Amino acid sequence: MEKTWGMGLIGPENRGTGFMIDIAVRDLKKEYEVGQPVLDGLTFQVDTGERVGILGRNGAGKTTLFRILTGQEEADSGEVILSPGKRLGLISQIPVYPAGYTVEDVLRTAFDDLKAMEAELHQISDQLGSGDKDLLARYDRLQAAYEAGGGYEIETRLEKICAGLGIERAFRDKNFADLSGEEKTRITLARLILVDTEILLLDEPTNHLDLNATVWLEDYISHYKGTVLVISHDRYFLDQVVDRIIEIQEGRAEFYQGSYSFYAVEKERRYQERLKQYLKEQAKIQQLEKAAEQMHLWAFMGNDALHKRAFSMEKRIQRMRTTEKPTKAKKMDARFASRQFKGDEVLQVKGVSKAFDGRTLFSDIYLRVEDGERIALIGENGTGKTTLLNMLLGLEPTDSGIFKLGPSVKAAYLPQIIHFNHPERSILDTMLYEKKDMTAQSARNRLAAYQFQGEDVFKPVSVLSGGELSRLRLCMLMDEEINLLILDEPTNHLDIAAREWIEEAVEEYEGNLLFVSHDRYFIDRFASRIWLLENGQITDFRGTYQEFQAARARGAAGQAASDTV
């Protein structure tokens, strides 16, 4: 594959004149298995300053594209042209740093180039007394570059980014190697932003961010002067940050000039238009086929000239077969089984307190849940949301207080991290061991409804992705009659199609819902009550997420006004 640093000038044959191209991808091809291309002639361009969302089902080649753009992987053929002199940064994989590096050390590697300039400036300044004009000119150029690169603002930038992404000072003293994957992702994102690249590639940047950090990142991108390409399944985030969508389908690019919401509507419109064209074409073909068949019949009855006309018509039919039948991804067809609830009270939380590792997570909490409520439990990472759910389910003890479920309440729980006790078992065997009264055929039918079909059911559970594990666990949950559904980050590992499926399932579920999520699209759709966990207490707001945000904004504005008095 050819990778070029081009002039970046856009020609009149492209999307306009007077623009500069930061990225041009031409006829990119890549396959990992012979005959199964991931990218198959992918072609697109991105102009300077654009914010582009890259969409596609899991496995469509989105991350492969990013790895090719950054040189981590080679395409089989095609060309990538990048604007000369521009730095490109990727947040995808977590880099390996030398042993003993703290979070602070990792963050400060973003300033390595500036620190090298600073060291050379000090070195030259010691020699300036010699009167060497070339040395003085070198010093002036270096100082200008150092200032332009933000060398005098290193500490300010560092503190601002850390504050925005919730990286506390004490946390910065931790050994980077000891952090969780979630924590390493957050630090790597902070470092990439600090590098201040001109082209930013973000691969699922919100996956390990809480709501506050995600909102901060949205604001950062909105003020970012460079070019942004983002892979994300967070539809709310995409609506806030991108102005164009490129969807990778069957290795090629489909273009949508607008946000995610525009894309969703336009994609359906295009599907309906293609379907209409296909059906119209098929109706005409059927009409002509019937006429040709009749002519052949008449020809056998003595009118040989009609054979020629029939053959001519059949050639015309072949030329007409230009429109392939448009397809949609097959949706999973399954629903939660609801159990009738008897009584008014679903859950009581009485004086619950919990401390962990010497820190109070929450103290003396009282709450009451009634029938029909759908509650979103939100808060920053580490505040204890999952711990609260585990205590409710009896998986973890409280320090004080109790959770009391109504006598007719039956709960089902989808945890954030899916674990199966026997990952060596196949998907089918896992299902059969869990549902002992189910036949093999019934199990295969159930699994097929969750898109585990054919030979897939014989895969060991250990090789499944996070999204596939969630799907399998849901497959086991959904036939149980329940009236309290508890979800911990249910959309976290799912692509957009799978998120839409679980949303449809939740929409039809008639019982009570309690869920932890950072997915604002999901929260906005389902929550009728908000529990905000912060500073060891729960703020209980009865209303939708948008109403909650508006109330918080009014409160912040009122506080700001009183502070100025």
Indicate the pairing of strand 484-488 with strand 529-534.
Answer: unpaired
Q: Are the CB atoms for 80 and 4 separated by under 8 Å?
A: yes
pLDDT band of 7, cuts 50, 70, 90: very low
- Who's near 259: CB < 8 A, 6+ residues apart? 238, 239, 242, 243, 245
6 pLDDT more than 70: no
Output the CA torsion 534→535→538→543 (10° steps): -40
- What residue ranges in 160-249 does DSSP mark as E strands? 199-203, 227-231, 244-249
Give the best-scoring range by mean pLDDT among 132-146, 225-239, 405-419: 225-239
For 393-414, b where at least 16 C-beta lie within 10 A, e where not — what string? eeeeebeebebebbeebebbbb
> pLDDT tens digit string along 323-371?
677 776 666 666 676 777 666 689 999 999 999 888 889 999 999 999 8
pLDDT at 530: 96
Q: Which amino acid is at 319?
A: R
pLDDT band of 386, cuts 50, 70, 90: very high
- Identify the H or E element spanning 514: strand 512-516
Helix axes 211-223, 181-195, angle to 10 degrees: 20
- Partner residues linked to 533 by β-bridges: 538
Share of the chain above pLDDT 70, in %: 89
Class of residue 341 by CB neighbours under 10 A (exposed 0-12, middle 13-18, buried 19+) = buried
